[in-house]
Amino acid sequence: MPLSVVILAAGQGRRMNSDLPKVLQLLAGKPLLQHVIDTARRLEPADIYVVYGHGGARVQAAFAHERLDWVLQADQLGTGHAVMQALPLIPDDHTVLVLYGDVPLVGASSLGELVHNADSGALALLTVVLEDPAGYGRILRDAAGAVSGIVEHKDATPAQLALREANSGLMAARAIRLREWLLDVGPNNAQREYYLTDVVAGAVKSRTQVVAIPVAHPVEVLGVNDRVQLARVEAGYRAERAEELMLAGATLADPLRIDVRGEVTVGRDVFIDVGAVLVGRVHLGARVQVGPYCVIRDSRVGADTEIRANSVIEDAVVGDDCRIGPCARLRPGTALGAHVHVGNFVEVKNSAIGPGSKVNHLSYLGDATVGAQVNVGAGTITCNYDGVNKSATVIEDGAFIGSGSMLVAPVRIGAGATIGAGSTITQAAAGGKLTLARARQLTVENWTRPTRK
């Protein structure tokens, strides 16, 4: 049966105390709403409708890259009223799945179960059993245990408040039935709003089966109304990602001290130390070791590579059996062959370094092509930028660059060349020969260092 997803995202989020619309608050580096959209896409819906209100132009601009149908809720009169705005656009033969832009962690498997039951003609609800369900609507059941209704927290009696089975707000039903039930919903509550949860009474009245599906993990239905709740959701997200990595074959020094903000894949026997931050699309090959407090973004790291403490790798490709850091930085466009060493306080940008080469100390390589088995001495800099243009440096196989050398691009260092320490190279250096470029050393007699008066 065709599926239409309706995401409610019109709330202002006053309790966030932010100029940013609530659904644009960041979770693991992505807006809350993006997480919901990404999960909805996994169900392959025919359409995704986003009901917007506060900060609508800003929200729409943030998702200009997505194929979405935007529905305005000019007056925020409750969740039922929000769904009413989208229903006229949805064909009767569709199943409607209702999601919330501030409930970002719900899993596709839980939503799939909702949709499956709704396809069969039921009104399907996602529920959760909580030790402290304060703030949540409570699931009401009759003597036979069937769902008979939902009462919001603010409208509940003391006896109803003692119930622990709570409504998550996520539900699915056929569009034609949902439309019928919403016509009977009125603002008969303390908030004078149209509650979506009141459709349960309509379903019961029409003798439609109401299926309450307990969520597998309560973290899936955590909502975000303030920054405290945002932090709790972030912690839940981190825990889920850490568990996925461990099940995939990674050992985490402390699962509570890793931050995964993207799609991370790992080979067998990977080790990740504390404080690592993995952002975007990251792949760590088998037996990779990531030291403490490293940041890896949108990069691939080959098998048996060691990334030592406090290193940053961004938009880079690292070959097998490399040694990176500590305190190294690989910037976008970096590609390392196998067995490369990039040591402490070395920065590499938009450069390729061939197999077996070493850049071990306090150096900068930018816009460079470095061959195999090259040794770059401490303090070497490729002078690649003249204030307007960036130029390339080529260092051929087997070259040896002495410490403290300045390679002024564009320039080529021939295969097997040796550059004497402290040289400033402005012209091509011949392969297999020693090239020096130093000013003559001079001692000035009778010179006195100035002193402060």
Q: Would you please indicate which residues are annotated as catalytic (active-site) residues?
A: 361
Long-range contacts of 375-381 (CB under 8 A, 24+ apart): 375/399, 375/400, 375/401, 376/401, 377/401, 377/402, 377/403, 377/404, 377/405, 377/421, 378/403, 378/404, 379/403, 379/404, 379/405, 380/404, 380/405, 380/406, 380/407, 381/405, 381/406, 381/407
Collapsing DSSP to helix, strand or coil, 127 comes out as strand
Long-range contacts of 68-77 (CB under 8 A, 24+ apart): 68/37, 73/10, 76/10, 76/11, 76/12, 77/187, 77/193, 77/194
Calpha distance 117→126 (Å, rounded): 11
Answer whether the bond into residue 187 is a cis peptide, omega within 30°: no
Q: How far is CA 81 from CA 145, 177, 383, 433, in A?
A: 29, 16, 63, 80
